[in-house]
Structure 1
Amino acid sequence: MIRRARGDELEILQEVERAAGAPFREVGMDLIADDDPPSISELAEFQRAGRAWVHVDDRDRPVAYLLADVVDGCAHIEQVSVRPDHARQGRGRELIDAVDDWARGRGLRGLTLTTYADVPWNAPYYQRLGFRILADDELAEGLRTIRKDEAVRGLDMWPRVAMFRELP
C-alpha cells in the first residue's frame, strides 16, 4: 500500500535509503553506496509539504519511499528508494505512478528525474517505465541547476542523465 509519509517515520526512510544504496557496491560505486541519506530536516520538509510517499509492508512499515518537488512545471522525482529485500516487486513503479497521479491533479505537464545512465536499476529501468533521456539542450533552468548541484556534490563521477515522462 502507498500512502503519505508520516513525521514519525523519517528515520525509517533514512534506513531504507542506506539499504537501497548498498547494491551500488556491486557496480563499483562505493561512494554512492556510502553517501549519507537525506537529513531528517530535509525529509521533514518534503513530508510536511505532502511530497513524500511511502510503500509499506503488511505491518504498515515503510519499505520504499519517494520524494518529489515541482521543477520547470513538472513533478520532479528527487529520490525513489526501495529496500533491496523488497525490490523487483513493482514498489518503485507504484510510487512513481502515485506521483504521476499527484502531478496530474496539479496540472503539471510531466515527471522528471536525474539518474545514472548505466546502472541497470536507474536509467534503463526508468526507460521501461516510459521516461526518455533529455538532451542537454532540452533541459530547462530548474533541471540545469539540479545537474550543476549534482556535479558539485560529485555525483557526476559516473555518467548521469536527466529524464522526462509526459503526462497524458
Structure 2
Amino acid sequence: MRIRPATPADLPLLQDIERAAGEPFRTLGMTEIADDEPPALELLERFRKAGHAWIAEGDEAEGDGEAGRPVAYLVGEPVDGAFHIEQVSVHPDAAHRGVGRTLIAYAADRARDQGLTGLTLTTFTEVPWNAPYYERIGFRPLTDPELTPGLRKIRATESDHGLDRWPRVCMYRVMA
C-alpha cells in the first residue's frame, strides 16, 4: 500500500469510498449514517489545499486488482494544538488489512512535523470499527472537562447534524 496526498481528480473517488464505507452501518440499524451524503467536493478540496488529505492506494502484492487505486482516505486539520482526524474511511473491500491504521500513522507523522502534540477524533462508541478500534490503536476517550474549545465546537456541529442519536465520544492519542 502506498500513502500519498490527494489530488483534485481523486476527490470524487473519496466520495465513492465514503459511500461504500457507510454501508456496514446498515447492519447496526444506523441507516441514516449509511445514507448520509459524503463530504462535499468543496470541503474535500479545502482539506486537500491545506495539505491534510491523504489517500491509501491498493497494492499490487495484495492481488486484489486495486493496485494504484484509492482504497481509503483520511482528512483532518489542526485543532487546539492537535491534529483532528475529521474522517478516515476505508472501502470495505480493503478492510481488515491495516489500511486505516497506516493512514492514521501517516497523519501522525505529518502532524508531528507541524509541531502538533497529538491526534483527536470523534466517533461512535458502540460501533465495533469505531471507538473500540481506536482504543486498540492507542486512542483514549476524553472526559467532558478535557475537551478543548475546538473539540466542543466540533461536537456541537455533530449534534446539530443529528449524530448524537447514537452515543459518541471525543478521543485523543498522544504522539508516539
- Per the alignment, residue 16 of structure 1 pairs with 17
* 1:120 aligned partner: 128
C-alpha distance after superposition, 1:62-89 (max 9, x if no partner): 1000001000100000000000010000
Q: Which residue of 2 aligns with 1:66?
A: 74
Counterpart of 1:6 in structure 2 is 7
Please, what is the CA RMSD of the aligned residues?
Answer: 0.7
What SS does structure 1 have at the residue aligned with 2:10?
Answer: helix
Q: Distance in 2 between matches of 1:72 and 1:50?
A: 18
The answer to whether residue 54 in structure 2 is matched with residue 53 in structure 1 is yes
Q: How big is each residue's C-alpha offset from its partner over 1:115-143, in whole Å with a ceiling of 9 and x where there is no partner?
A: 00010000000000100000011101000
TM-score by length of 2: 0.94
Select between 54-63 and 88-97 the one with higher mean Cα deviation: 54-63
Per-residue deviation, 1:156? 0.7
Counterpart of 2:167 in structure 1 is 159
Regions of 4+ moved over 2 Å:
none
Q: Specify the alignment match of 1:30 in structure 2.
A: 31
Q: Which residue of 2 aligns with 1:133?
A: 141
Query: C-alpha separation between the residues in 2 aligned to 1:118 and 1:158?
Result: 8
Structure 1 length-normalised TM: 0.98
Counterpart for residue 76 of structure 1 = 84
Code of the residue aligned with 2:38 in structure 1: it is P
1:110 aligns with 2:118: yes
Distance (whole Å) between structure 1 residues aligned to residue 76 and residue 90 of structure 2: 15
Cα deviation for residue 159 of structure 1 reads: 0.1
Q: CA deviation at 1:48?
A: 1.3
Are 1:91 and 2:92 counterparts?
A: no
Q: Between Structure 1 and Structure 2, how many residues are aligned?
A: 168
Q: Shift in Å at residue 60 of structure 1?
A: 1.6
